[in-house]
Chains A and B, each alone.
Chain A
Amino acid sequence: MLTLRCPCCGVLADETELAPGGTAHLRREGPEASDEAFEAYMFLRDNPRGVHFERWRHAFGCGKWFHAARCTVTNEVFGTYPAQTAAPPEEVLEAIRRRRPEWER
């Protein structure tokens, strides 16, 4: 069972209190984008075996969205952080590098 600490309310939330929101840090292609760029945004997602950045919503708790860095193989959680950011914070990247030295973004 996955448990994530919600950075908005500080609660250690059980997976069943959370709603998954898919991959984090996607850049949506705007109306001027080429078909290829929009296709890449819409359909061509990474499906990593290992470190993954994801969006979650504390649906049964404070209701806020947040981000989590998780290993898709072991379910190890490297950290959670507020959603008001375009990239993972340095301390989360640091935690990942400590546990997965070979990992590259």
Chain B
Amino acid sequence: MPEYPLEGRRFDGLVRLESAEPRGMIALRGTPEELSSALEESVGLAWPATGEAAWTGEVGALWMAPDELLLLVPQGQAQDLVERLGRSLADRHHLVADVSDMRTLLRMSGSGCRDVLAKVTPADVSPAGLSIGRVRRSRVGQVAAAIWLRDGETAEIACFRSVAHYVFDLLADAAHPEARVDYWTPQGADAQA
């Protein structure tokens, strides 16, 4: 049974930070031309547009690079999907691997998500730059991470598990209750109006 580095950690400040429930993660690499029909058959999702995520329930296909997707599936289903994808792609050039233990998922919730993210990443986290459905791979502090929004007040962050505590601590610092910025919160929008 794998360990989840952030299990049980929680921080309440400008946003709530917690470990997202563990999910199966699959790296899928190859060209969309060759792989998208197998993805549609096995997962029921079309190849997402550049920089976007496609979801059906808790199953997601996140665009990582022009030739790479990260598939998120409920815990315990990754191995089975890897085998099914492998079978249907047997005659095509591809890579499919269960990387569930490679990364950790954090969930950030609250109206201050954009404010907190903006302190630690150079990525554009404005509503136009990071709309719901977009996946932004960038830098969080000193490490690589992927950021996406599930809804207007919930962000998920994927980072390598070896730096999970670093990312958690960094975000907790940025979300300190006395470090309020109120730029993209509803209060901030009122002040700017």
Contacts and interface: CB of A to CB of B under 8 A. Distances in A.
Contacts of A64: 65-66
Contacts of A11: 51, 123, 136, 138
Interface string B116-141: 00000011100000000000111100
A62 B122 contact: no
Looking at chain B's contact residues, is the secondary structure mostly helix, strand, loop, or mixed?
A: strand
A88 interface: no
B122 A61 contact: no
- Among A16, A59, A62, A64, max chain B CB count under 10 A is at A62
A61 B137 contact: yes
Interface residues of B, number: 15
A92 interface: no
A9 B65 contact: yes
Contacts of A60: 137-139, 144
Interface string B136-154: 1111000010000000000
Contact of A9 (B50, B122, B124, B144): B50
Given A9-B66, A10-B50, A62 B124 contact: no
A11 B68 CA distance: 16
A16 B64 contact: no
Interface in A19-64: 59-64
Interface residues of A, number: 15
Interface string B64-78: 111010000000000
Interface of B: 50-51, 63-66, 68, 122-124, 136-139, 144
16 contacts: A9-B51, A9-B63, A9-B65, A10-B50, A10-B51, A11-B136, A11-B138, A12-B124, A14-B122, A14-B139, A17-B122, A17-B138, A17-B139, A62-B66, A62-B137, A64-B65
